[in-house]
Each structure stands twice: as C-alpha cells, then as structure tokens.
Amino acid sequence: MQKKTDDFAGFVNQLLESLNKSKQFSLIADIIQSHFEVQIQTQVSNSILDNLVKQDQFEKAWQVFTSLRQKASPFDSFTFSVLVKGITPHKNTTFLTPIIKIVQDSAKDSNFSPDEVLYNVLIDTSIKCKQFDQALEMF
C-alpha cells in the first residue's frame, strides 16, 4: 500500500511541476486545495509560490500556502522568503505579521530553523513597511 501512496504522491508532484511551468495557477490551486492528502515536495511548493508572487498573484499564493500548511507540507526558509517578496509598502502589508508569527511558531514547534537570510528579509520588509516594532523584535 505504501508503494501506491508514494507513486501517487510522485505523480501529483510531477503534475504540479508541469502545471507550474505552464502557469496554470487555477488548476494548481484546485489540486492543492482538493481533499486527498498528498504531501507536496518543498521544491515544488516553493516554485509554485515563487511563480504566483512573480505574477503579482499574492493572495492566490497565500491561499496555496495556507492549504499546503493545513496538509502539513514541509517548508524551509526559502518558502517564507518567497512570500515576503510579495509584500511591499504599497501591497499586501497585512500579510507580514501573520508570516512573521508562522515563522516564529514554526521555529518553536517543528524542525524548521529560520536562517539569517530569512530574518534579514523579514527585518528589511518590516522596516520598508514602517513596522519598526516588528523589526526590532526580530533583531
């Protein structure tokens, strides 16, 4: 039974990679938000999130991230750095605080260990968005 589960997970990850390359973001979101439980590989989810942010579809990226998180898909510092890239002083600033909280909670509750690059990105974005208290908290 494990072999079939691994094969299906591999298939889903390959499908998501292909859809990502062809920028089929609605289909990607539908697959990730579907009811079957498949752990999406970190590299695949990072690539999807990165493309969504680059296409100025931050809210869709946030929905995908939230769905992946509910399915306990693994994340790394790059995952959060990608999301933070979509936050500017003029757009998506309301997402900065939740991202910082998730990073801090994940560092406490799991094997996730934020690196200096991620903290620098978070501090830099906090300052650009004039959220100085958050920047000082992380420093």
pLDDT tens-digit profile of 74-126?
889 999 999 999 998 888 899 999 999 999 888 887 778 889 999 999 999 99
Architecture of domain 2-138: Alpha Horseshoe (1.25)
pLDDT tens-digit profile of 6-30?
676 677 777 777 877 777 767 777 7
Tokens coding 53 = 């942010």
pLDDT for 121 equals: 93
Phi and psi, residue 96, nearest 5°:
-65, -50
Exposed/middle/buried for 81, CB within 10 Å: 0-12, 13-18, 19+? Answer: buried
For residue 32, how far is the Cα from the chain centroid? 12
Cα–Cα distance, 115 to 132 (Å, whole number): 20
Phi and psi, residue 91, nearest 5°:
-140, 140
Q: What is the pTM of this model?
A: 0.79
